[in-house]
Amino acid sequence: MTKQIEDNLKKIPVVNWFVQLGKQIKIPGLEGMSFYDLLELYGLGIVKGALTTRAGGIAFSFFMAIFPFLLFILTLLPYIPIDGFQNGLFSLISEILPPKTFDAVDGVIKDILNNQYGGLLSFGFLASIFLMTNGVNAIFGGFEYSIHVDEFRNVFKSYLISLGVSLLMVFFLIITVTLIIFYQIALTKIGWLETSGLNLFYWGRGFLFLLMIFTIVSLLFRYGTKQGKEVRFFSPGAILTTIVSLFSFYLFGYYVVEFSKYNELYGSIGTLLILMLFVWLNAIILLLGFELNASLYRLKHRNKTS
């Protein structure tokens, strides 16, 4: 790998010991490349890849796509013949969003429900598809700015794939809410929900939510770039992103409740700032997972070529 970086690290006490240890650990599937090689390439991707700047661009586009996404889902509600789907959807959204932010989203949801904006062929619905696709396309654009990505799609193909992935994300969300409803009904019929099954319900709902997050992340990594076609469903990057995201949900919620003073400083607009910060943080986590997969891909193919 980069000899200059390696030589500089060897001059630092303690760090040089970890460098030697990392070079002795060989990773299966990387054609003899070491754990140190992976960490070095991964670190270069993070430092030179302008990670926070890319995350900012993704966060802005994705933030703009949140409410069109809700409009898209709410327009589909009359066509989903499942009792309790609306309440289940709102419950899942309230669990995903940080504390103190659901009230702002809830106001928009009620406005959409009280003022019907037409059916599947209305301008509002079609515009929501366009803006929702822009959010996913921004994620793919953030992926392609990585220093490990050399192949790029043209604009039309990228947008078409973004549209397909957006619709798949909606599909997975609908499936998750449906499974949660059926799971709750099953526990009720067994009689567990009224006794000691409440914790069982929360654990089951958490597992389904975790599965949805992991599936969507794997989907983004698979179709985000041209080289993504070689990324497996259970990729290291998807596992890393899912695990770190779960910790971020908990820690960020704790931060908002205990330390955040946005509402005191900015009033009601502080809620939107919290939501924006939450999206930006998770955009960074998503890019960290992608950079890990891209580093593994680069190492594997670089050694094959050499």
pLDDT grade, residue 6 (50/70/90)? low
Looking at residues 108-116, what average pLDDT do you find? 64
Q: What is the mean pLDDT of the chain?
A: 76
Do residues 67 and 106 lie in contact, with contact meaning Cβ atoms separated by under 8 Å?
A: no
Which candidate, 103, 165, 168, places its Cα nearest to that of 140? Answer: 165
Tell whether the model's pLDDT for residue 29 goes beyond 60.
no
- Residue ranges per domain, the chain? 1-48, 53-297
pTM listed for this prediction: 0.81
* Token pair 């990228």 in the structure block, residue: 158
- pLDDT value for 215: 92
- pLDDT value for 183: 82
Q: Encode the chain in three state secondary structure.
A: CCHHHHHHHHCCCCHHHHHHHHHHCECCCCCCCEHHHHHHHHHHHHHHCCHHHHHHHHHHHHHHHHHHHHHHHHHHHHHCCCCCHHHHHHHHHHHHCCCCCHHHHHHHHHHHHHCCCCCCCCHHHHHHHHHHHHHHHHHHHHHHCCCCCCCCCCHHHHHHHHHHHHHHHHHHHHHHHHHHHHHHHHHHHHCCCCCCCHHHHHHHHHHHHHHHHHHHHHHHHHHCCHHHHHCCCCCHHHHHHHHHHHHHHHHHHHHHHHCCCHHHHHCCHHHHHHHHHHHHHHHHHHHHHHHHHHHHHHHHHHHHHC
221: enclosing H helix or E strand: helix 198-223
Looking at residues 267-274, what average pLDDT do you find? 70
- pLDDT value for 217: 92
- pLDDT value for 49: 73
Q: Which of 59-68, 201-210, 261-270 has the lowest mean pLDDT?
A: 261-270
- pLDDT value for 123: 67
- pLDDT value for 68: 77
Cβ density class 4-32: b for 16+ within 10 Å, e for less: eeeeebeeeeeeeeebeebeeeebeebee
Top mean pLDDT of 23-27, 66-70, 99-103, 173-177 is at 173-177
Do residues 163 and 223 lie in contact, with contact meaning Cβ atoms separated by under 8 Å?
A: no
* Digit-coded pLDDT (tens) for 124-155: 677 778 888 888 888 888 888 888 777 788 88
pLDDT grade, residue 80 (50/70/90)? confident
